[in-house]
Structures are given as C-alpha cells and as structure tokens.
Amino acid sequence: MERRDWSLEALKRLTYVDSLEDELRAEGLKSWALTYLETTEITDFDLTHEELLKLRELFFKNANFLFNYREDILTELKTISNVKKFLDK
C-alpha cells in the first residue's frame, strides 16, 4: 500500500507541476524527476492502467516542454548576447 500511495502522490504532483507557468514548471519538473526517478525506476510505480497512461502522457508532454523551453532560453541568450555586442560598439 505504501508503494501505491507513493505512486499516486507522484502522479498528483506531476499533474500539478504540469499546470504551472513555464519557469516554475521547468523547476518543478526538475524537482519531480529528482524526487521520483533518481532512486527508483519508472516500473516501480504501482498505478492502474489508466493512471499509467495519464503518467505516460504527462511525462512525454513535459519532456517535450523541457526541450522547447531549453531552445527558447538559448534563443533568448543569443539575442541578449547580440544586443550586448551591439551596445558595446
């Protein structure tokens, strides 16, 4: 039962993190992954089939979000660097 409760808590927390604004969401996803995936395997989750499907959907949706968020940050950094170079001239 303890594993089931832990699994439901992980799903509930991931659902909550998914609803946050971009910056908080990115930090929340990092924290979620460190808490629930660093010391355990994804196969350790004790969820029903429907709950596993929900976890899978959220997991891949947020992995894609992190990739896009990273690209956006890199683009912003490049723009800031270009503006800084322009202003230094």
pTM for this structure?
Answer: 0.81
Q: Which residue has the higher pLDDT, 55 or 44?
A: 55
Handedness of CA 61, 31, 39, 74 (dihedral sign): positive
Q: How far apart are CA 40 and CA 23, in angstroms?
A: 26
Which pLDDT score, from 0 to 100, does residue 53 have? 95
**Span 10-51, pLDDT tens digits:** 999 999 999 999 999 999 999 999 999 988 887 889 999 999
Which pLDDT score, from 0 to 100, does residue 88 have? 80
